[in-house]
Every structure is written in C-alpha cells, then in structure tokens.
C-alpha cells in the first residue's frame, strides 16, 4: 500500500514558494531596502538634515528638474506621435498599412544609445554632418540645430520610445468593438464627432498606459542624456548619480547621494505605476471585443499619398538615416573625413573584433552576460510564475508583491542596490567582477520574465495538469511532461525579451563595470567620451548586427509557433 504521509506542511508547493521568495528577496527586496535605509538613516538614526542638504544643492536640484522636464516632454511627444501613427495604420485607408505597422516597431529595436550617438554625429553644433551641410549650403556660420540641449534629448528619446504608445493604441483600436462606433453613427454622428466623443475616450486607458510606460522609461534613462547632455552640462538623475560616483571613485558619500536620488526615482516610479493601475482599472468596461472586426475606415482621398510619404520620411529620418550614419562612420578611417570609397574600410571592424582587447572583451562580456542572465532569469521566472499562477499556498501575496516590484525599479536604482548589497558588507564582494553585473541583470529583467511566463502559464488550464496527476504522474512529472512543453513558447519569448535589451544595456552596467568587465554599451559610451567616435560607431554597428540577428530569430520562432500547436 502506497500511503504517503503528508508530513507537516512541506509539500512541493511549499518548497517552490520558499525558493521563489528567497530568490526575489535576495535579488530584489534587500537591495531596495538597503537603498532606502542608506538614504534615510545615518548611523542608525533617521536623518532629514542630510537629505535636505543633498536635495538643496543646486546641482542635484538641477538634475531632478531636468529629469522631470525630459520625462514630461518625451511623454507628451511620444503620445502625440504614437497615437497619430496608430490611428493612421488602423483607422484610415493608408496604403501598405500592414507593412507600415511592422515598420513603425523598428524604432523600438534601435538602441537609444546608438540612436543618440548617430544624432550626435548628425547634429552636434560644430561637427554634425547636417549642421555642416546646411552651413555650407547657405554659407552660414552658426548651427542649424544644436542636439546638445534639452530639446535635442527630448527629440531623440521620443524617436525611439513612441512605439510604447503606438503598440498599446493600435492593439486597442484593433480590438475595439465596432458596434460602439456604429451605434454612434446610426445616431447621426459624423466621423469627426465619433472620433472625438466615442473613440478617443474609449482609447484613453490604452493611451495612458503607453504614455506612462514612456514616462517610467524616460525618467530613469541614462544613454541619451549621457551622450547629448553632459557635453552641455545637462544632467538628469541617472547621469548625475553616475558623475558623482565616477568622479569620487566610488566613495560612500557619492553612493549615499545616489541612494537619495534613487529614492526619489523609486517614489516617482511607484506613483506612475499606481496611476497606471488606476487608469487600467477605470478602463475595464467591455469595449474590447475578442472577435475580429472591420472598423470604419476614414477615406484619406487626396491626403493618401502625402501621408504615406510623410510616414516613410519619418521612418527614414529616425531609423534609416541614423543607422546608415553609424555604419558609414564606423567604416571611416578617421572621423570627419568625407564618405568616399577610398576613406572606408573594414580595418576598424577587424581591429575592434580581433585586435583591441578592450572592445573584444566588451563584446564577449555582453554576449555571455546576456545569455547567462537571460537563461537564469527565464528558468527562475518560470519557477516564480508557476508558484504565483498555479499554486495554492499561503503567503503567495508576498511573491506577487515582490514580483511586481522590479517593474518599477529603474536601472540606476538596481545598480546602486546591488552595489550596496554585493560589495562585501554582507560577506560577499562581487564589486568589479562580472558577477555583480550578472546579478543586476537578473534583478532588472526578472519582471520581463515573470510577465511573459505568467501570461503563458495562465493559458494552461489547471485541469491539464490535474489530468496528468490522475493518469499517475507525480507533480514533477506533470510539470516536465505537460506544463513545461506548453509554456515553452513563453519561456523562449522571455529569453529573448531579456537577451536583446541586456545586449545593449548601459544604464545599469555603467555604474557596475570594472576594468575587465565593460559591456558593449559601456564600451560604446566610453569610446565616445574619449573622442574615439569612429570606433564607437564601429562597435555600435556590431551591436546592431547582433540585435538584427536576434530579432530575426525571434520572428522565426514566433512564426513556427503559429504553424504548430495553437
């Protein structure tokens, strides 16, 4: 007789819960608590004087102001651009709509760091190609547009962040129940009135969701302000934290200033996410039907071609021109000379790929750090998501809370958190090793993995697993034979959702790298700082090629998924 004693409360469920909580506490919770502790307490005493002192310094105050101005500007323009193009591809008779829909996602794949680098080459006040070209053309001596400015930073971030809004809004527009608009039309409303009074209000939750994602991202973004701002003395919170820590050689005072600024980021991010959850809750009336539909399309008539040309032009300027610039400059023998065949070669490429140790190391570091972080985060993500979605255990809410937390943590905050946690204070010193970046990546991308895996797991009905148990499979066997095969697409998606952004990561690794552990992002940034513009562009080209290959693989995988099991 096979009677298994159910001893105490220690089943598989409890073990999984314990492991999941442990991982999230170590990787996420403790670092955040350390930041708050360090920011608010000095020698174990609550310390407001110090915080006020830090915040009242003109430099930090200035950085805070810039961060919020940039975030507000980028959010505003991204929303306008994103909603406009979303409406254009889903609610008008624009030609080649399906193709355009895909093309508008490309700016998303272009790393903001590389975009900023390209725009620096094009529009820096003196040496920018466009500025020079216009000066030559009209015999001017000033500069047509100075990219080293707040408006330059806002413009470049908008170019690459608007797809957040675009994706949300096109998705919602496509799923919106057409009868809502049809009934308004039957009641005698014109298309303009319908758009203003029915469609737009119904889309508001999706628009807001996209806009808040942009705000969250922009508020704590390092790359663009670092490349375009520092030269003109414009700092935002992440670049200020970096500058302080970098200049002081990692002194505790600088890190403490970092924690205070991080606390502000955490609070702002929490606020943004809170607003988002309110908006999403308010928008949960049934406007979105699951069925496919044929919405009313606005006839563009004479504007058809001009609007198509405008869209193509927009993409050419924001995507093709910068990409081409990067590849061309990357092949130049020296920066500033003309783009002629004689001036171009593969020498740079050969040099950074095979000869120069610094860049070789950076590429290698980025590849193995991204691969291993993506792999570990994917596995741990499945484990935690499974516990959250499928397990009936007490104390699950802790996990749910900790699982959402990483969504709201900007890269800079995570970096400061892992510095506090892993620089020897608790017996483990990972500072200046690749491990500290590895740990930071796991914390930073855990949210992606949880989101992707939870979505996949929610599709797997509980009865599928129970059917396996009834067939004689143990819990582990049912996981291995039924659950894992069914969530594999979600796991693969999670892997690439982590691998690709990790490949181009800068915000976190720039605070954590040591002499031997530069990543591609750090190396591009450092080369640019040192005036090695050409090598920065060559390395950026390599990064772009890796990203393009990665995207192609994702496309293959998602397509084969459609052909296989639904």
Partner 1 sequence: MAYVMLEKVGKTYGRHEVISDFSITIKDGECLTFLGPSGCGKTVILRLIAGFEHPTAGEIYIGDRLVSSVEKNVHVPPEARKIGVVFQDYAVWPHKTVYENVIYPMQMQRIAAGDAKGRTLAAIGQVGLGELQDRLPFQLSGGQQQRVALARALISKPDIMLLDEPLCNLDANLREEMRFEITALQKQTGVTILYVTHDQEVALAISDRIAVMDKTGRIRQVGPPDDIYEKPADPFIFKFMGVSNFIPLEYRDGQIFIGESDSPLGCPVPEGSLERIKKRELIAGCRSYDIELTHKESQTRGTIRRVIYLGATVDYLVAVGKKVFRVQQDIREAGQGGIPFQDGDQVGLEFLDLKWFENQAIDEEVE
Q: Rounded to 5 degrees, what are φ and ψ at 92?
A: -130, 175
**Closer residue to partner 1, CB minimum distance, 139 or 472:** 472
d(C-alpha 295, C-alpha 99), whole Å = 19
CB of 464 to partner 1, least distance (A): 5
CB of 316 to partner 1, least distance (A): 42
Number of chain positions touching partner 1 (CB under 8 A): 27
d(C-alpha 428, C-alpha 244), whole Å = 25
Paired with 45 in beta bridges are 42
| 179 close to 258: Cβ distance less than 8 angstroms | no
Query: Per-residue x/- mask for partner 1, residues 423 to 462, rule CB under 8 A?
Result: --------------------------------------x-
Concatenating the DSSP letter of every residue in 392-430 gives --TTHHHHHHHHHGGGG--HHHHHHHHHHHHBSTTS-B-
Rule CB under 8 A: is residue 15 a binding residue for partner 1? no
**Closer residue to partner 1, CB minimum distance, 1 or 137:** 1
CB of 292 to partner 1, least distance (A): 18
| 535 close to 329: Cβ distance less than 8 angstroms | no
The correct pick among 54, 203, 440, 482 for binding partner 1 (CB under 8 A) is 482
CB of 466 to partner 1, least distance (A): 5
CB of 204 to partner 1, least distance (A): 36
The correct pick among 149, 475, 554, 557 for binding partner 1 (CB under 8 A) is 475
Rule CB under 8 A: is residue 9 a binding residue for partner 1? no
Closest CA to 512 of 409, 443, 442, 436: 436
CB of 395 to partner 1, least distance (A): 14
Rule CB under 8 A: is residue 481 a binding residue for partner 1? yes
CA-to-CA separations, 157 to 77, 88, 258, 367, in angstroms, rounded = 10, 22, 23, 25
Burial class (CB in 10 A: 0-12, 13-18, 19+), 394: exposed
Query: Per-residue x/- mask for partner 1, residues 286 to 325, rule CB under 8 A?
Result: ----------------------------------------
**Closer residue to partner 1, CB minimum distance, 150 or 486:** 486
The correct pick among 25, 273, 393, 486 for binding partner 1 (CB under 8 A) is 486
Which of 98-106, 313-321, 479-487, 535-543 is the region at the interface with partner 1 (rule: CB under 8 A)?
479-487
d(C-alpha 176, C-alpha 202), whole Å = 9
**Closer residue to partner 1, CB minimum distance, 320 or 464:** 464
Burial class (CB in 10 A: 0-12, 13-18, 19+), 308: middle
Which of 2-10, 92-100, 159-167, 360-368 is the region at the interface with partner 1 (rule: CB under 8 A)?
2-10
d(C-alpha 455, C-alpha 464), whole Å = 16
SS (H, E, C) 185-196: HHCCCCHHHHHH
Task: Determine the length of the chain.
Answer: 566
The correct pick among 49, 186, 562, 565 for binding partner 1 (CB under 8 A) is 565
| 425 close to 277: Cβ distance less than 8 angstroms | no
In a 3-state reduction of DSSP, which class is residue 42? strand
d(C-alpha 482, C-alpha 374), whole Å = 23
Rule CB under 8 A: is residue 562 a binding residue for partner 1? no
**Closer residue to partner 1, CB minimum distance, 59 or 473:** 473
The correct pick among 4, 45, 126, 281 for binding partner 1 (CB under 8 A) is 4
CB of 379 to partner 1, least distance (A): 20
Kindly give the pairing relationship between strand 41-42 and strand 45-46: antiparallel
Rule CB under 8 A: is residue 477 a binding residue for partner 1? yes
Rule CB under 8 A: is residue 6 a binding residue for partner 1? yes
CB of 365 to partner 1, least distance (A): 37
**Closer residue to partner 1, CB minimum distance, 344 or 486:** 486
For partner 1, the binding residues in 455-474 under the rule CB under 8 A are 461, 463-464, 466-474
**Closer residue to partner 1, CB minimum distance, 93 or 466:** 466
Closest CA to 185 of 176, 197, 174: 197
CB of 14 to partner 1, least distance (A): 13
Q: Rounded to 5 degrees, what are φ and ψ at 423?
A: -105, 35
**Closer residue to partner 1, CB minimum distance, 6 or 301:** 6
Closest CA to 448 of 393, 373, 548: 373
**Closer residue to partner 1, CB minimum distance, 398 or 486:** 486
| 451 close to 382: Cβ distance less than 8 angstroms | no
Q: Rounded to 5 degrees, what are φ and ψ at 293?
A: -155, 165
Closest CA to 414 of 510, 291, 531: 510
CB of 557 to partner 1, least distance (A): 16
Query: Per-residue x/- mask for partner 1, residues 536 to 555, rule CB under 8 A?
Result: --------------------
d(C-alpha 293, C-alpha 374), whole Å = 37
Paired with 423 in beta bridges are 429
**Closer residue to partner 1, CB minimum distance, 3 or 192:** 3
**Closer residue to partner 1, CB minimum distance, 469 or 556:** 469
Tokens of 311: 């869209």
Closest CA to 501 of 436, 554, 422: 554
CB of 407 to partner 1, least distance (A): 29
Alpha carbons within 13 angstroms on the beta-carbon side of residue 96 total 11
CB of 486 to partner 1, least distance (A): 6
CB of 1 to partner 1, least distance (A): 6
Tokens of 436: 């500290």
CB of 383 to partner 1, least distance (A): 21
CB of 475 to partner 1, least distance (A): 7
d(C-alpha 502, C-alpha 499), whole Å = 5
**Closer residue to partner 1, CB minimum distance, 4 or 357:** 4
Q: Give the position of tokens 């408006």.
A: 151
**Closer residue to partner 1, CB minimum distance, 7 or 138:** 7
Q: Which residues are near partner 1 by CB under 8 A?
A: 1-7, 461, 463-464, 466-475, 477, 481-482, 485-486, 565-566
């Amino acid at each position: 007789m096979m009677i298994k004693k159910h001893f105490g409360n220690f089943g598989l469920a409890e073990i999984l819960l314990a492991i999941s909580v442990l991982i999230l506490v170590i990787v996420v919770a403790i670092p955040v608590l350390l930041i708050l502790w360090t920011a608010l307490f000095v020698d174990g005493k609550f310390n407001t004087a110090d915080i006020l002192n830090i915040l009242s310094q003109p430099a930090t105050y200035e950085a805070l102001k810039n961060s919020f101005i940039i975030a507000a500007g980028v959010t505003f323009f991204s929303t306008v651009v994103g909603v406009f193009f979303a409406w254009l591809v889903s609610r008008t008779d624009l030609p080649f709509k399906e193709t355009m829909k895909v093309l508008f996602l490309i700016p998303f794949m272009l790393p903001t760091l590389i975009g900023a680098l390209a725009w620096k080459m094009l529009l820096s006040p003196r040496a920018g190609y466009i500025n020079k070209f216009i000066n030559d053309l009209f015999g001017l001596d000033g500069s047509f547009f100075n990219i080293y400015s707040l408006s330059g930073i806002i413009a470049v971030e908008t170019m690459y962040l608007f797809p957040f809004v675009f994706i949300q809004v096109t998705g919602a527009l496509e799923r919106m129940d057409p009868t809502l608009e049809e009934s308004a039309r039957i009641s005698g409303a014109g298309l303009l009135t319908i758009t203003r009074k029915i469609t737009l209000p119904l889309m508001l939750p999706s628009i807001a969701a996209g806009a808040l994602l942009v705000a969250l991202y922009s508020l704590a973004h390092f790359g663009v302000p670092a490349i375009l701002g520092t030269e003109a003395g414009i700092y935002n919170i992440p670049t200020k934290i970096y500058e302080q820590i970098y200049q002081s050689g990692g002194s505790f005072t600088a890190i403490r200033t970092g924690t205070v600024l991080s606390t502000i980021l955490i609070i702002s991010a929490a606020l943004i996410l809170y607003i988002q959850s309110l908006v999403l809750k308010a928008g949960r009336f049934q406007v979105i039907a699951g069925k496919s539909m044929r919405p009313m399309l606005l006839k563009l008539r004479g504007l058809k071609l001009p609007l198509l040309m405008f869209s193509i032009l927009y993409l050419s300027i924001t995507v093709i021109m910068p990409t081409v610039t990067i590849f061309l400059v990357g092949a130049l023998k020296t920066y500033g000379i003309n783009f002629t065949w004689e001036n171009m070669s593969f020498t740079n490429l050969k040099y950074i790929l095979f000869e120069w140790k610094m860049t070789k190391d950076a590429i290698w570091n980025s590849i193995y750090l991204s691969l291993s972080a993506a792999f570990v985060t994917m596995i741990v993500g499945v484990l935690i998501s499974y516990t959250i979605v499928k397990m009936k255990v007490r104390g699950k809410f802790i996990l749910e809370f900790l699982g959402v937390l990483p969504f709201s943590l900007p890269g800079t905050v995570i970096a400061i958190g892992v510095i506090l946690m892993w620089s020897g204070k608790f017996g483990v010193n990972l500072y200046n090793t690749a491990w500290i970046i590895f740990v930071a990546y796991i914390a930073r991308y855990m949210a992606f993995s949880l989101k992707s895996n939870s979505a996949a797991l929610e599709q797997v009905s509980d009865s599928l697993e129970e059917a396996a148990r009834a067939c004689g499979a143990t819990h582990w066997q049912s996981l291995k034979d039924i659950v894992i095969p069914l969530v594999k697409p979600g796991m693969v998606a999670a892997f690439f959702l982590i691998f690709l952004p990790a490949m181009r990561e800068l915000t976190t690794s720039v605070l954590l790298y040591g002499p031997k552990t530069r990543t591609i992002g750090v190396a591009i940034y450092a080369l640019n700082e040192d005036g090695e513009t050409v090598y920065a562009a060559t390395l950026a080209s390599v990064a772009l090629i890796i990203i393009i290959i990665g995207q192609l693989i994702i496309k293959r995988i998602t397509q084969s998924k459609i052909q296989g099991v639904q």
